[in-house]
A and B are shown apart, each in its own frame.
Chain A
Amino acid sequence: MALFKNVDFSSLFTEDFLLTLFRAALYLVIGFLMLRVVIFLVRRLIRRRVTEQAKMLTTKVINYTGIVIIVVIVLLEFGVNLTPILGAAGILGLAIGIASQASLSNVISGLFLVSEKPFAAGDVITVGDKTGVVMSIDLLSVKIRTFDNLYIRVPNEKIVSGEVTNITRYPIRRMDFNLSVAYKENLQHVKDVLVDIAYRNPKVLDEPAPIIMFRDFADSGITLLFGVWFQKTDYMNVKNSVTLEIKNRFDEEGIEIPFPHLSIYAGSTTAPFPVAAVKEEEVESQE
């Protein structure tokens, strides 16, 4: 009851009370209108200077602060003693803080994300084993839409504490093809064919130049890295066209791509189990 000790309930529905009610309503209406105007002006002022996330955060901070101020003014108009409310709010805040450590951690992580700007809405990122387009960066989480159209909510804390790959940060990228050719092949010829494939594909950048690096004398053949640069928007086009061209040109040039073969052996002898296709008549004649 201490909360309402200054409230005179006997004066309810009196002329003074109705006047107070009117003033409170006026404060509410004017307060919210002013709040809208302030938010509009601030957004207009910062629209070209900060990212969407910073704009969103600034708007929310102004909005919540404004609402608190309006509510306090209205309560003061009704003669409510705010000291107990503030005290209770402190205790409540402490309780909420303890109970929602994870959420607060996410909010603070969200502030770090906004200030550090590791990615922006529209970027393609990989978090853990999930890759997708960033839809929004909010106070508590980042929303991602994967390429198979799944909606993923990643808590900000996980992003700040873990590794995030921004795939579309830079305008160009390198696509690596790990190839293997048979030991019998002329490696200089293989290299020339790959250079020609890159040169003839208009979506593959001439510069930075494609890289070809022979890696290892592996079990099945000689492994090599073929890396081509491309504009980030051409990913699918380059992936498909270069893969097709490698296969077609290797077939045309007689370059063998080795792969593991499986032979079936019977018994302890080293000779493989003989298998031969014979006509039905021959089987009958043998019998």
Chain B
Amino acid sequence: MWGQVQIETDAQTILRYGELVVYVRRVEDEWRFSYRYNDPVDSGYAPEEEDWIRLVSRGDESLELAPVLPDRPLVIRPESPISIFPGRLARFFVALPLWYRFVAVLKNSRTDLIDIPSRILSNTWFGDPSAGELCYSLDAPLRRAPERLKDRTTTVTCQLTVRNGSDEKLNFERICAHVENLSIFENDGYLWTNEITVFFKGTEQVSQISIQDRPPDNLPNAQKLTAPREAVSRNILRRSFIFFRQFTGI
């Protein structure tokens, strides 16, 4: 699925990825893209002239497809609140929505043309109304095993480990995942992100959120497909922690 995309010359190519339908045309030195969601196969829809996104590049490139994660943090809202008792560790798996990145390739030159979300995500706010952060909202179940996740072919699996190192119960309803700091790996046909580990040390203590720069340990064949949009910085980690504490409600 990933890598080179076959494009018909002088005609539009229709690509279907789950509920997303992408229309691609190459006209002289332009790449033209248009996309819709939930478009039936036999709808007969053809983009109008104003529906195309026109990107001027070169005429002799090939087109490649790469998976990327959303461009803003995701606020993951599990189906129900979760509590972790003191000293316990919980490992969760969550399916993150995928974005499709089309890249024009000519020898060693790669030009990112467009990122298209696999589905429309709703905006949400994380933190205080006067100084929070704009995120995407994701209603997604936190599963205890990756096999229990649905739509794994059109999503990226994220392994989230929460360790309660405090002497109090940790209650949380939402988690803010800074997906712009995550890489994507492929293992046996499934996509994975780096593992996120949250170490909760208590209400009054500084907790720690860390993102390992490698795939989860139990994936021996994992190959890195996409680098993170942004490198991990100490500030981002700190912000994540503050937000996490806010969301724990303690």
Known: A171-B134, A231-B134. A206 touches B123 (CB 8 A): yes
Bound: A266/B2 CA distance, A: 78
Given contacts A206-B137, A207-B75, A207-B137, contact A172 B122 (CB under 8 A): no
One digit per residue, 1 when the CB lies within 8 angstroms of any chain B CB and 0 when it does not, for chain A 232-271 equals: 0010000000000000000000000000000000000000
- B contact residues around A201 at 8 Å (CB): 122
Contacts of B131 in A (CB 8 A): 171
How many A-B pairs have beta carbons closer than 8 Å: the answer is: 45
**Cβ-closest chain B residue relative to A207:** B124
**Does residue B17 face the partner (Cβ distance < 8 Å to A)?**
no
Q: Is the CB of A208 within 8 A of B125?
A: yes
Tell me the chain A residues, 189-221 only, with Cβ under 8 Å from chain B. Answer: 199, 201-208
B109 at the interface (CB under 8 A from A): no
User: Chain B contacts of A204 at CB under 8 A?
Assistant: 122-123
B221 at interface (Cβ–Cβ under 8 A)?
A: no
B9 interface hit (Cβ, 8 Å): no
A9 within 8 A of B: no
Does B38 reach chain A (CB closer than 8 Å)?
no
Q: How far is the CA of A172 from the CA of B125 in the complex (A)?
A: 8
Interface size on B, residues (CB 8 A): 15
Which residues in A have their C-beta under 8 angstroms from that of B132? 171-172
Q: What CA separation (Å) do A172 and B126 show in the bound complex? A: 11
Tell me the residues in window 46-94 of chain A with beta carbons closer than 8 Å to chain B beta carbons: none
> Number of residues in A with C-beta < 8 Å to the partner?
16
B129 engages A208 (CB within 8 Å) = yes
In the assembled complex, the Cα of A208 lies from the Cα of B75 at a distance in Å of 12
**At the interface, yes or no: A273 with Cβ under 8 Å from chain B?**
no
Docked complex Cα distance between A251 and B129 (Å) = 34
Within 8 Å of chain A (Cβ to Cβ): is B233?
no
| Residue contact A203 to B123, C-beta cutoff 8 Å | yes
Is A229 engaged at the interface, CB distance under 8 Å to the other chain? Answer: yes
Residues of A within 8 A of B125 (CB): 171-172, 205, 207-208, 229
Asked whether any CB of chain B lies closer than 8 Å to the CB of A170, the reply is yes
Cβ contacts under 8 Å, B77 to chain A: 206
Q: Which residues of B115-156 are within 8 A (CB) of A?
A: 120-126, 129-132, 134, 137
Give bound CA distance, A205 to B23, whole Å: 30
Smallest beta-carbon distance B141→chain A, Å: 17
Give the distance to chain B from A6, nearest Cβ to Cβ, in Å.
Answer: 64
Decide if the interface of chain B is mainly helix, strand, loop or mixed.
strand
B121 adjacent to A202 (CB under 8 Å):
yes
Asked if A202 meets B134 with Cβ closer than 8 Å, knowing A170-B129, A172-B129, A208-B129, the reply is: no
Which of A170, A171, A206, A208 counts the most B-chain CB atoms under 10 A from its CB?
Answer: A206
Least Cβ distance of B247 to chain A in Å? 10
Q: How far is the CB of B127 from chain A (nearest CB, A)?
A: 10
A120–B227 CA distance with the chains assembled, in angstroms = 38
B122 and A199 form a contact (CB under 8 A):
yes
Separation of A231 and B75 alpha carbons in the complex (Å): 16
A202 vs B95: C-alpha distance in the bound complex, in angstroms?
Answer: 20
**Contact between A202 and B120, CB atoms less than 8 A apart:** yes
Establish whether residues B124 and A205, one from each chain, have CB atoms under 8 Å apart when the complex forms: yes
CB distance from B146 to the nearest CB of A (A): 26
**Residue ID in chain B nearest A170 by CB atoms:** B130
What is the distance, in angstroms, from B125's C-beta to the closest C-beta of chain A? 5
B 99-121 binary contact with A (CB < 8 Å = 1; else 0): 00000000000000000000011
Min CB gap B20→A, angstroms: 15
A234 to B124, CA, bound (A): 13
> Distance (Å) between the CB of A117 and the closest chain B CB?
15
Shortest distance from the beta carbon of B84 to any chain A beta carbon, whole Å = 22
Q: With the chains together, A172 CA to B134 CA distance in Å?
A: 9
Output the least CB separation between A214 and chain B (Å): 24
Q: Which chain B positions have C-beta within 8 A of A229?
A: 125, 129
Are the C-beta atoms of A206 and B120 separated by less than 8 Å? no
Task: With both chains docked as a complex, state the minimum distance between the C-beta of B115 and any C-beta of chain A, in angstroms.
Answer: 16
Which A residues from 155 to 180 make CB contacts under 8 A with B? 170-172
- CA–CA, A199 and B129, complex, Å: 19
Per the bound structure, the CA–CA distance linking A234 and B122 in Å amounts to 13
Chain A residues near B75: list those with CB within 8 A.
Answer: 206-207
Kindly list 5 other residue pairs between chains A and B, CB separation below 8 angstroms, not including A206-B77, A207-B75. A201-B122, A205-B124, A205-B137, A206-B122, A206-B124
21 pairs of residues in contact across A and B, judged by CB atoms under 8 Å: A170-B130, A171-B125, A171-B130, A171-B131, A172-B125, A199-B122, A202-B120, A203-B123, A204-B122, A205-B122, A205-B124, A205-B125, A205-B137, A206-B75, A206-B124, A206-B137, A207-B124, A207-B126, A229-B125, A229-B129, A230-B123
Q: Give the 6 A-B residue pairs with the shortest CB-CB distance, closest first.
A: A206-B137, A206-B124, A202-B122, A207-B124, A170-B130, A205-B125
Q: B residues touching A (Cβ–Cβ < 8 Å)?
A: 75, 77, 120-126, 129-132, 134, 137
